[in-house]
Chains A and B, each alone.
Chain A
Amino acid sequence: MNIQEFQQKLFGMGEKQGFTDMELYFEREEKFKCGLFKGEIDSYETSEIAGGSFRGLFNGKMGYAFTEKLDEDSVLYLVENAKENAQLIEEEIQEEIFGGSEEYQAGSFYSTELAKVTVPKKIELLKEIEKHIYAYDKRVTGTNYFILESAESERYISNNKGLSLDEKQNYIGMFISVVVKQGDETKTGAYVKATKDFSSFVPKEIAKYAVEEALSKLNAKTAESKYYPVLLRNDAAGDLFQTFSEIFSAENAQKGRSLLKGKEGETIAASALQMVDDPFLEDGLLSRSFDSEGFATMKKAIVKDGKLVTLLHNRKTAGIAGIESTGNAYKGSYKGSLTVSPSNLYVVPSKKSLEELTASVDEGILITDLAGLHSGADTVSGDFSLAANGFFVKDGKVQNTVKQMTIAGNFFELLKNIEAIGSDLEFSMSNVGSPSLLIKELAVTVE
């Protein structure tokens, strides 16, 4: 059954069963993924998937159901389950099906150039990078993973209030983790990037970056466990901001799960901090001209001179707050319900390079990567205690690498303790990005 036919049957059945407003949210994705190990293709994956989510108002309550099979059985399954689900909902304030914004800003999220890159070209790139990886240093023993991934996807929203929107996007991503060994020490170095520009992958540079990352971790020494000034390199800072990006959600705030509740207009961070949510970034992973309920998206300041400008809203949370939506309604996929998420959220870069930031530190720790973010960070209280890798900094210079560490602190305090912001904004493989940040102090424990 094609999508139009499916929608017609679905809405017909829905109406018969008592639904008033109805929506079909549909996604289609084509993906290619390829992994290389010592010259051989050891994983190769292609896929074509599609699925739809039905959302509808039944007795004033919103019911949801999704399917990946577009057949007669599924029409019945969706309507019956959405109806049963709607009847269970007890929350008084409900979502609505949206008729559409007046205007949608045009964006460029699909690169026709990228779509033309052939599979042999992609494999050739991987082989080229791998050659450089092994040639770079004889301590390289293998790769932990070495994968290229490209995808094209399409989102489609249509409802019985006259809305019908459609958008395509594509990207290509690279995930590399190089393993080096020296004596008893084994270390890994990663390179991760998503882009729409295939030519931005320069094999020699990528190989150098990943291998140097791994090599730099060798000869790890211990250091005194205490409070240090901490320099978070751009990728580590981005990971931390990604983890805590939920605090900017008005939905979390309204449910008492974010300490930023009611803080609009107040100082929440060092005055140097500027944060922006930009759905129109060309290489942004969550770039989009309409959000997951069909509202027009917009670029906006979230933090200005350390003051919280606005939280992120969908139409429901905006309604509760008595303001307009910020176009941040979000569904992880057709399998999820409507929530709130940033599009591409980032800390606005300043002018200093990482070297200049380092030069300003008398004694401190430079953190280059963080682990355990899914378990060691509590977004409600802001407390975090995370495994970390990085270097000892003395007299403005990077010294030896330090054995595995933990860094502990509180994110809300960290925002206020940002002493300097770097110029090196990076998103790696995330919709949240940051330049390197110098933090006044964090508790550092060394293994």
Chain B
Amino acid sequence: MLAKSVIEDVLTAALATGGDFSEVFLEDRYTNNLTLQGGKIENSLSGRDFGIGIRVFKGLQSVYTYTTDGSKEGLLKAARNAAHAISGETIIHPEPLKKEIITCAHPIAINPRETEKTRKVNVMKKAYEIAKNYHSSIQQVLVRYLDEEQNVLIANSEGKFIEDKRVRSRLAIQSIASDGKQMQPGFYGPGAHKGFEFFENLNLEHYANEASRIAVTMLGADPCPSGKFPVIIDNEFGGVIFHEACGHGLEATSVAKNNSVFANRIGEKVASDVVTYIDDGTIANEWGSITIDDEGEKARKNVLIENGILKGYLIDKFNSRRMGMESTGSGRRQSYRFAPTSRMTNTYIAEGKSTPEEIISNTEHGIYTKYMGGGSVNPATGDYNFAVMEAYLVKDGKIGKPLKGATLVGNGAETLQLVDMVGNNLGHGAGMCGSLSGSIPVNVGQPMIRVSEMTVGGSKEGE
């Protein structure tokens, strides 16, 4: 994608003013985005992102510059711009580049760029038909299709020179049910680090029906009561709660500057005994999986919390300097427009011993959340919030009537201590995670869990 000699010149120019590390990240990405509304293709967008990011460190100073100008002159100018932010004499020269050949840990069978778009449209229409025909109250179905091929080249002054191809595919189905007075949405958005084979093997019946089932169920739901309840959170995308409540607080981005409630607490008990929390970028072909991170480090399985004890953080190259700890292969970024920082990949709570039936039958009065919407967290305070897409009242150990409009709020550090049951039905769900280095694909996951007390915000006064 770029000649070795040009890269070496750029790495050298970036170190001209006393930097101690320089890096080049080149990206050439092809994307397709299609939208089907009311059974008709409404939008089809294709594009090519191309750009280069150059990074220089000097101690705890980090400089980043990026450009869409891929000419040698353009890159050298960008490198000089970066170097300009540092003042001093050259202290090191880049090591000679040694090309590392890697095998993709997430093999692709059918490249989406070479797949005719009419085949993509067929998948969307099939999903539409299933979702639309689920029930007469389904008023609208929106199907979005996404595929992308991201080619990256990463080289740095330590001699690293590595290339990677990441291919991802995702289908998002949104159904809206209406009874003439109100409208309720339902959503499912499966994705994978796979090519077009992902869509061919996808259980469309399941996902499209679920999206509509959620919408129809919520149409008949009562407003959620507010107050403090035991909350049962089901598997797959339910894991978004720990993504917000805990995952972000374990990223070096907030730990390195002591802004996280988890900073300086390795070896301490931060969660109840039943909680083991893992970030694993190596799971084959999962949506959040990577072969190498965006700093060229191999993906790893990082155990963050084991039986309640804090074991580690997610660390990128720059923050590893401030923390005096090794990088964990967690340096990720949305594109060349972002300097990488510590981010999650596929993060999940490990399986426990309870069956889902046991968890529900052991709950006298509480809320069961089957599907979660999105959420957010303030990593400094640990305060999080998220929306519940599908919820039910639990009474006398049985799942009761559906509830709508629930929001869960709480504090991550406190919630971790209150997990009292962990199920044996681990599942993962695909999502997009936004933070300092942009929006990136991640999986969240967990088996069914129960939190002994959470604050539920609803529109109905407490019971």
A406 touching B45, Cβ below 8 Å = no
B184 to chain A, nearest CB (A): 7
A69 touching B387, Cβ below 8 Å = no
The residues in A between 429 and 447 inclusive whose CB is less than 8 angstroms from any CB of B are 443, 445-447
* B residues near A187, Cβ cutoff 8 Å: 381
Closest partner residue, chain B, to A178 (CB atom): B380
B37 touching A255, Cβ below 8 Å = yes
Q: Does chain B have a CB within 8 A of A341?
A: no
Give the contacting residue for B259; candidates A179, A255, A385; CB below 8 A. A179
B384 to chain A, nearest CB (A): 8
B185 to chain A, nearest CB (A): 7
* B residues near A337, Cβ cutoff 8 Å: 43, 45
* B residues near A44, Cβ cutoff 8 Å: 61-64, 85
* A residues near B85, Cβ cutoff 8 Å: 41, 44, 46
A37 touching B383, Cβ below 8 Å = no
A317 to chain B, nearest CB (A): 13
B461 touching A443, Cβ below 8 Å = yes
* A residues near B339, Cβ cutoff 8 Å: 43, 45
Q: Does chain B have a CB within 8 A of A357?
A: no
Q: Does chain A have a CB within 8 A of B88?
A: no
B84 to chain A, nearest CB (A): 9
The residues in A between 130 and 169 inclusive whose CB is less than 8 angstroms from any CB of B are 141-142, 144
- List the one stretch of A11-19, A85-93, A262-270 in contact with chain B: A85-93
Closest partner residue, chain B, to A47 (CB atom): B66
What 1/0 flags go to B30-65 for Cβ under 8 Å of A? 000010010011111111111100000000111111
- List the one stretch of B163-171, B325-333, B369-377 in contact with chain A: B369-377
A74 touching B48, Cβ below 8 Å = yes
Give the contacting residue for B380; candidates A66, A89, A144; CB below 8 A. A144
How many Å lie between the Cα of A373 and that of B456 in the bound state?
17
A385 touching B406, Cβ below 8 Å = yes
Closest partner residue, chain A, to B378 (CB atom): A188
B409 touching A406, Cβ below 8 Å = yes
B169 to chain A, nearest CB (A): 18
With A40-B60, A40-B61 as contacts: A376 and B456 at CB distance below 8 Å: no
* A residues near B376, Cβ cutoff 8 Å: 371-372, 374-375, 387
Q: Does chain B have a CB within 8 A of A256?
A: yes
A68 touching B49, Cβ below 8 Å = yes
Give the contacting residue for B61; candidates A41, A68, A81, A443; CB below 8 A. A41
* A residues near B259, Cβ cutoff 8 Å: 142, 144, 179
A226 touching B461, Cβ below 8 Å = yes
What 1/0 flags go to B329-370 for Cβ under 8 Å of A? 000000001010000000000000000000000000000000
B46 touching A89, Cβ below 8 Å = no
The residues in A between 224 and 261 inclusive whose CB is less than 8 angstroms from any CB of B are 225-227, 255-256
**Which applies to chain A's interface (DSSP): helix, strand, loop or mixed?**
strand
Q: Does chain B have a CB within 8 A of A324?
A: no
B434 to chain A, nearest CB (A): 8
Give the contacting residue for B50; candidates A67, A381, A447; CB below 8 A. A67
How many Å lie between the Cα of A233 and that of B147 in the bound state?
42
How many Å lie between the Cα of A40 and that of B59 in the bound state?
11
Give the contacting residue for B375; candidates A42, A50, A188, A375; CB below 8 A. A375
* A residues near B78, Cβ cutoff 8 Å: 46, 48
* A residues near B42, Cβ cutoff 8 Å: 89-91
B40 touching A69, Cβ below 8 Å = no
Q: Does chain B have a CB within 8 A of A393?
A: no
How many Å lie between the Cα of A177 and that of B49 in the bound state?
32
* A residues near B409, Cβ cutoff 8 Å: 387, 404-406, 445, 447
Give the contacting residue for A46; candidates B49, B82, B140, B405; CB below 8 A. B82
Q: Does chain A have a CB within 8 A of B69?
A: yes
Closest partner residue, chain A, to B82 (CB atom): A46
Most buried by B among A47, A50, A336, A443: A47
B386 touching A89, Cβ below 8 Å = no
Closest partner residue, chain B, to A376 (CB atom): B387
Closest partner residue, chain A, to B51 (CB atom): A68
How many Å lie between the Cα of A335 and that of B335 in the bound state?
14
The residues in A between 3 and 47 inclusive whose CB is less than 8 angstroms from any CB of B are 37, 40-47
B418 to chain A, nearest CB (A): 13
Chain B: interface residue total (CB-CB under 8 A): 77
With A81-B46, A385-B458, A409-B459 as contacts: A141 and B65 at CB distance below 8 Å: no
Q: Does chain A have a CB within 8 A of B460?
A: yes
* A residues near B382, Cβ cutoff 8 Å: 186
* A residues near B62, Cβ cutoff 8 Å: 42-44
Give the contacting residue for B407; candidates A50, A88, A380, A408; CB below 8 A. A408
A65 touching B337, Cβ below 8 Å = no
Closest partner residue, chain A, to B64 (CB atom): A45
Q: Does chain A have a CB within 8 A of B267?
A: no
B458 touching A144, Cβ below 8 Å = no
* B residues near A409, Cβ cutoff 8 Å: 459
Q: Does chain A have a CB within 8 A of B159?
A: no
How many Å lie between the Cα of A407 and that of B382 in the bound state?
19
Q: Does chain B have a CB within 8 A of A203?
A: no
Q: Does chain A have a CB within 8 A of B98?
A: no
B45 touching A336, Cβ below 8 Å = yes
Q: Does chain B have a CB within 8 A of A124?
A: no
How many Å lie between the Cα of A41 and that of B62 in the bound state?
8
* B residues near A99, Cβ cutoff 8 Å: none
With A90-B40, A186-B261 as contacts: A408 and B378 at CB distance below 8 Å: no
Closest partner residue, chain B, to A381 (CB atom): B183
The residues in B between 249 and 265 inclusive whose CB is less than 8 angstroms from any CB of A are 254, 257-259, 261
A209 to chain B, nearest CB (A): 18
* B residues near A408, Cβ cutoff 8 Å: 226, 405, 407, 457-459
The residues in A between 69 and 126 inclusive whose CB is less than 8 angstroms from any CB of B are 69, 74, 77, 81-82, 84-85, 88-91
B210 to chain A, nearest CB (A): 19
Q: Does chain B have a CB within 8 A of A290?
A: no
Q: Does chain B have a CB within 8 A of A51?
A: yes
Closest partner residue, chain B, to A410 (CB atom): B459
* B residues near A406, Cβ cutoff 8 Å: 226, 385, 407, 409, 455, 457
Q: Does chain B have a CB within 8 A of A64?
A: yes
How many Å lie between the Cα of A335 and that of B51 in the bound state?
14
Q: Does chain B have a CB within 8 A of A329?
A: no
A404 touching B383, Cβ below 8 Å = yes
With A225-B226, A385-B387 as contacts: A68 and B405 at CB distance below 8 Å: no
A-B contact pairs, 12 of them (CB 8 A): A43-B62, A48-B68, A74-B48, A88-B118, A91-B40, A144-B379, A375-B373, A383-B405, A383-B459, A385-B387, A404-B410, A445-B455
Top 10 nearest A-B pairs (CB, nearest first) are: A406-B457, A387-B385, A375-B374, A445-B226, A85-B44, A81-B46, A90-B40, A385-B407, A66-B47, A372-B385
